[in-house]
Structure 1
Amino acid sequence: MASNLDTLVTVFGGSGFLGRNVVRALCRRDYRVRVAVRRPELAGYLQPSGKVGQVHTVQANVRYPASIEAALRDSQIVINLVGILAEGGAQSFDAVQAKGAETIAKAAAAAGAQLIHVSAIGADAESPSRYARAKAAGEAAVLAAVPSATIFRPSVMFGPEDQFTNRFAALARMSPVLPLIGGDTKMQPVYVGDVATAVADAVDGKAKAGATYELGGPEVLTMREIIEAILAIADRKPMLMPLPFGLARFKANFLQFAPGALKLTPDQVTLLARDNVVSDAAKAAGLTLEGLGIAPDSLEAIAPQYLWRFRAAGQFQRKSA
């Protein structure tokens, strides 16, 4: 019987938030993992994810096809996790999430490799959001090049290194007032570890070829409910100030240049105007975490394991009433 060590999996974007979790999941299943990133010298922290020699990093940039072809050479399976939340310089949504996805898919097809592509719930060619349109274009390009590709669309992901729960907890530590944008917008936050497990299951051959899965957590929550849960865990009590979308977009024109947790782009405001939940069609077809046999973890179960650091006295603080 063949060992998983005989299988080489190339992960594009393996140094990111989801990527490091996918690399760990693949290493636990004894696959050989090649991590293709723009700056391999900054991805050394991935080495302890596996045994000696199990993880290897190489340089690749989705804007340069030759680097993609070289990175996936001899790979049996290719995973594309490359994505950006905000544009900067040459890293545009179209270049990275549409044309970049197409470049990887064509290279995988030429190499005869299986392809797993991670997109996002909300990917829509008719969306007013450029991020969502680029995600949809990427999906279309992937299926055109590799019709047997498996696509995963996660909702907003949370976990120890996320830019979601950590962002709001950090803002609550900085300010007595938090702006609330899209307070009634529904989301289905999903634990990054569950998404990584789904991707690893697809590598194992447990997912349907040519299918699009929608991955959400066990609860559908409004944006207000999510932020309130984060604040309760971090034991912070800022006032939530609802901000109309028009005013939020105006402020985002300036905040898109802000550093760290303060950064907010107009396109992100546009995304917050639409619900981000698993569709009824995906549920009916079994194209969900539950359909893969994965019981998703809730925000309430996972977030306290890392958001304690935003409490005034850290892990030793007794939560106030």
Structure 2
Amino acid sequence: MAIAGNGSANAPVNGKLVTVFGGSGFIGRHVVRALARRGYRIRVAVRRPDLAEHVQPLGMPGQIMPVQANLRYRWSVDRAIEKADAVVNCVGIMNPSGAQSFDAVQAFGPRAIAEAARAAGLSAVTHISAIGADATSQSGYARSKAAGEQAIFETLPQSVVLRPSVVFGPEDEFFNRFGAMARMSPVLPLIGGGETKFQPVFVGDVADAVAKAATGEAKAGTIYELGGPDIKTFRECMELMLEIVRRKRLLLPIPFGVAMMQARILSLLPSAPITPDQVTLLKSDNVVSQAAIAESRTLDGLSIEARTLAAILPTYLERFRVRGQFDAHRAA
């Protein structure tokens, strides 16, 4: 079930309730803010609500409430969805850990959410997947994303699935990771030679797309692919990042075979900088398909004007400059 909204940044609370699973994460918190601006009450379903209090100031007092839910325990999913008018799933992981496996989080989890939503009388959910979701992929991440999409549509065919490319924004794990690396290391690795293509999309634009889908402004039963206005190779992304942080670093091409061996060793660490699965993902371009463009299953199709890397990256990468934000007005 979708709920109508007027999209106003100053909309009063309208009494409608949206449950957002994973609403305290990088994308989730922006989704919560986008929905709050449209006047909805939001129930933020997370494993640790005591660590999600930072989402409450995104709306008016009482508008946003964190609650406990774990996708591996159906009863908690049912409880989080109870009396909700719409449901959004933002839960996703790049690195499996313990019980939080790809299949548990990104395949079993979406099915549990969709089944609970159906039991609560809803006809659809809004689900965030990823460009590259593929049941035949060699990547466990991509296979689990495809399984999650299948589970959603098998259970609630009128649902909307959103597949973003690499998402960038103040808390991202892509540009921030390499910005931090550039601050410490004279060399940055280019896995596979840095030729993989991305179409980075601003997290605020993704959040707007999610809000539109959850409030009935997207075509039901559709997969949207979300990419920004810039298609860049891995190398070009690193060059742009280095230009913004005003540092010179050697960009070292690393063949996929060598990168895979390194990733297998690094994956033994508690917090691996890269995993074999991520190396596998880098073997394929991550851009919006021509079919999605032709069928208007994009940000343009949702009447969202995508923001550029050049407009957003300097607003949060300046902290990686030699003098941090105090370099903001110095000549390059």
User: The TM-score by the shorter chain falls in which range?
Assistant: over 0.9
Q: 2:39 aligns with which of 23, 30, 41?
A: 30
Q: CA deviation at 1:204?
A: 2.4
Aligned mate of 1:78, from 58, 79, 87:
87
Checking the alignment, whether the CA contact within 8 Å between 1:257 and 1:263 is kept in structure 2 is no
* Matched residue, 1:284: 294
- Contact conserved, 1:76 with 1:112, CA < 8 A, in 2? no
Matches within 5 A, 1:138-157: 138-157=148-167
Which runs of structure 2 are paired with 1:13-52 in the superposition (5 Å)?
13-52=22-61
- 1:198 maps to 209
Are positions 1:220 and 2:228 aligned together?
Answer: no
Partner of 1:275: 285
Take 1:10 and 1:115, find their aligned partners in 2: how far apart are those partners?
Answer: 10
Partners of 1:20 and 1:275 lie apart in 2 by 27
What residue number does 1:118 align with?
128
Return the match for 1:300 from 301, 310, 316. Answer: 310
Matching of residue 208 in structure 1 with residue 236 in structure 2: no
- Deviations 1:28-48 (CA, angstroms, capped at 9, x unpaired): 111000000000000001110
Q: What is the Cα deviation at residue 202 of structure 1?
A: 1.3
Partner of 1:57: 66
Residue 258 of structure 2 is aligned to residue 247 of structure 1: yes
Partner amino acid for 2:163? R
Cα RMSD for the two superposed structures: 1.5
| Residue-pair matches, total | 320
Distance 1:255 1:40 in 2: 31
SS of equivalent residue, structure 1 residue 315: helix
Which residue number in structure 1 is paired with residue 143 of structure 2? 133
> 1:152-205 CA distances to partner (integer Å, 9 max, x unpaired)?
000010000010110000001110011111311111000000000001111221
Task: Sort the Cα spacing of 1:259 and 1:304 in 2 relative to 1 into closer, same or farther, 3 A.
Answer: farther
Alpha-carbon shift at residue 76 of structure 1 (Å): 1.0
1:187 aligned residue (186, 193, 198): 198
Instruction: Give 1:316 shift.
Output: 2.1
TM-score, normalised with respect to structure 1:
0.97
Aligned equivalents of 2:258, 2:147: Cα separation in 1: 29
Alpha-carbon shift at residue 257 of structure 1 (Å): 4.0
Q: Which residue of 2 aligns with 1:93?
A: 102
Distance change in 2, residues 1:258/1:231 (3 Å): farther
Q: Which runs of 5+ in 1 are unaligned?
A: none
Structure 1 residue 258 displacement after superposition: 4.0
**Letter of the structure 2 residue corresponding to residue 269 of structure 1:** V
Q: Which moved more, 1:152-161 or 1:248-257?
A: 248-257
With over 3 angstroms needed to count, the CA separation of the structure-2 counterparts of 1:263 and 1:257, relative to structure 1, is farther
- Judge conservation of contact 2:102–2:144 (CA < 8 Å) in 1: yes
Identity %: 59
Alignment deviations for residues 226-264 of structure 1 (CA, whole Å, 9 cap, x no partner): 11111111112110110000110110112224466x611
5+ long unaligned stretches in structure 2: 6-11
**1:256·1:266 contact (CA, 8 Å) conserved in 2?**
yes
**CA 1:291 to 1:58, structure 2 compared with 1: closer, same or farther past 3 Å?**
same
Report the AA paired with residue 28 of structure 2: G
Residues 235, 320 of structure 1: 8 Å contact kept: no
Question: Given the alignment, which residue of 7, 15, 20 partners 1:11?
Answer: 20
SS at match of 1:269: helix
* Alpha-carbon separation, structure 2, partners of 1:185 and 1:310: 24
Alignment-mate amino acid for residue 251 of structure 1 = Q
Give the distance between the partners of 2:115 and 2:268, measured in 1 at CA: 35
Q: In 2 relative to 1, CA 168–124 (structure 1 residues): closer, same or farther, beyond 3 Å? A: same
CA distance in 2, matches of 1:303, 1:258: 30
d(CA) in 2 for partners of 1:166, 1:295:
24
Higher mean C-alpha deviation, range 310-319 or range 137-146: 310-319
**Secondary structure at 2:263's aligned position in 1?**
helix
Work out the CA distance in 2 between the residues paired with 1:174 and 1:37. 34
1:5 is paired with a residue whose SS is coil
How far, CA to CA, are the matches of 1:87 and 1:7 in structure 2?
34
